[in-house]
């Protein structure tokens, strides 16, 4: 049986043998991929985080912006506000990724971070008609191979849920400008609420931050109900909080989780390998998800 287990890595999906691919239990991963392949694309749904998962963490050694950071543009906010948002990032991002703190300890800080930034954005009276231009001027980039990923899911009619604690309006604009906002793509995120003149006045619905995706998944139960005949889930994320994005799927048969480990690699490697089925270390491409999708669909 051993020989069969490792056949996938050797022949069908050689990408899984790369040094940047870590797995706690390679046999289980291979069995899951094989079971998903037998069930086919009709049984599959993909649930993915956006910032630093579908979008790049870095390019040529420079950090790429999150959807929030795309707003760091003179078109939208003044210098004083930029400075405050950067200070908040410098305070709270280290807490978000701190391997020594529990999720419970991080929670109140995340709520504080998101709430403060959203209040600042509302004060800036951001105009809806300038968002597309801000996205164009930004250095936001999707991971290499993103087009193959999105196009294949669309061709196979596999639903893709993008579940993001970032900004939905910006996220949609990024995928639209990259020509991959296909009809099979659904987004759960923080959306801006504009007044009649197109000026930001609030955020809609329940705030989504890195560590409450489980509650938000349950709130959006209707979305998952529509997909109940798709019991196999491929989940992509870059934060440990992303692992709860599939908690709205009622009867999961096979789930495979892929985690991008972008930052603080040594500090976080162990917890990522213990939590995600496949961990991709400093991999700015969609090569592994694409290779797996190519095999199972």
96 binds Mg ion per the rule CB under 5 A: no
52 binds Mg ion per the rule CB under 5 A: yes
Task: Choose the catalytic residue: 25, 42, 51, 129.
Answer: 51
Pairwise CA distance, residues 244 & 235, whole Å? 10
With H, G, I as helix, E, B as strand and everything else as coil, classify residue 202.
strand
- Provide, rounded to whole angstroms, the least separation between the CB of residue 241 and Mg ion: 8
Using CB under 6 A, which of the segments 1-9, 112-120, 217-225, 265-273 binds ligand C5P? 112-120
Q: Which is nearer to Mg ion, 5 or 191 (CB)?
A: 191
Q: Which is nearer to ligand C5P, 14 or 94 (CB)?
A: 94
Pairwise CA distance, residues 252 & 228, whole Å? 9
Rounded to a whole number of angstroms, the distance between the first and last alpha carbons of the chain is 24
Cβ 235 vs Cβ 214: under 8 Å: no
Cβ 277 vs Cβ 18: under 8 Å: no
Q: Which residues pair with 167 in a beta bridge?
A: 190
49 binds Mg ion per the rule CB under 5 A: yes
168 binds ligand C5P per the rule CB under 6 A: no
51 binds Mg ion per the rule CB under 5 A: yes
Task: Choose the catalytic residue: 25, 42, 49, 79.
Answer: 49
69 binds ligand C5P per the rule CB under 6 A: yes
Per partner kind, with CB cut-offs from 5 to 8 A, the member of ligand C5P, Mg ion, none near residue 165 is ligand C5P
Pairwise CA distance, residues 57 & 51, whole Å? 8
172 binds ligand C5P per the rule CB under 6 A: no
Cα radius of gyration (the chain): 19
Q: Per-residue b/e over 116-135, b at no fewer than 16 CB within 10 Å? A: bbbebbbebebbeeebeebb
Cβ 72 vs Cβ 80: under 8 Å: no
User: Residues 169, 172, 173, 238: which binds Mg ion (CB under 5 A)?
Assistant: 238
- Provide, rounded to whole angstroms, the least separation between the CB of residue 171 and ligand C5P: 7
The answer to whether 51 is a known catalytic residue is yes
Q: Which residues pair with 62 in a beta bridge?
A: 59
140 binds Mg ion per the rule CB under 5 A: no
The answer to whether 195 is a known catalytic residue is no
- Provide, rounded to whole angstroms, the least separation between the CB of residue 291 and ligand C5P: 23
What size, in residues, is the chain?
Answer: 297
166 binds ligand C5P per the rule CB under 6 A: yes
Binding site for ligand C5P (CB under 6 A): 49-52, 66, 68-69, 89, 93, 96, 113-114, 117, 164-166, 210, 239
């Amino acid at each position: 049986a051993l020989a069969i287990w490792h056949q996938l890595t050797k022949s069908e999906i050689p990408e899984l043998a790369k040094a940047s691919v870590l797995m706690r239990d390679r046999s289980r991963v291979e069995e899951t991929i094989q079971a998903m392949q037998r069930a086919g694309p009709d049984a599959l749904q993909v649930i993915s985080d956006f910032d630093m998962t579908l979008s790049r963490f870095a390019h040529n050694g420079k950090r790429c912006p999150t959807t929030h950071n795309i707003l760091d543009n003179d078109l939208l906010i003044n210098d004083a506000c930029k400075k405050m948002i950067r200070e908040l990032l410098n305070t709270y991002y280290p807490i978000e990724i701190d391997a020594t703190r529990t999720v419970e300890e991080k929670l109140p800080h995340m709520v504080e971070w998101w709430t403060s930034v959203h209040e600042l954005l509302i004060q800036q009276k951001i105009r809806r008609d300038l968002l597309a231009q801000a996205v164009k001027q930004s250095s936001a980039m999707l991971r290499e191979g993103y087009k193959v990923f999105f196009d294949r899911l669309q061709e196979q009619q596999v639903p893709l849920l993008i579940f993001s604690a970032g900004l939905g309006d910006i996220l949609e604009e990024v995928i639209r400008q990259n020509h991959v906002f296909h009809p099979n793509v659904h987004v759960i995120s923080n959306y801006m609420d504009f007044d009649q003149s197109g000026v930001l006045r609030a955020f809609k619905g329940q705030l989504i931050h890195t560590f409450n995706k489980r509650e938000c998944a349950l709130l959006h139960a209707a979305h998952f109900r529509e997909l109940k005949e798709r019991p196999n889930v491929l989940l992509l994320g870059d934060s440990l909080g992303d692992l709860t994005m599939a908690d709205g799927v009622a009867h999961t048969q096979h789930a495979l989780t892929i985690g991008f480990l972008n930052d603080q690699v040594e500090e976080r490697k162990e917890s990522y390998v213990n939590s995600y089925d496949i961990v991709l270390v400093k991999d700015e491409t969609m090569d592994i998800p694409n290779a797996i999708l190519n095999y199972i669909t």
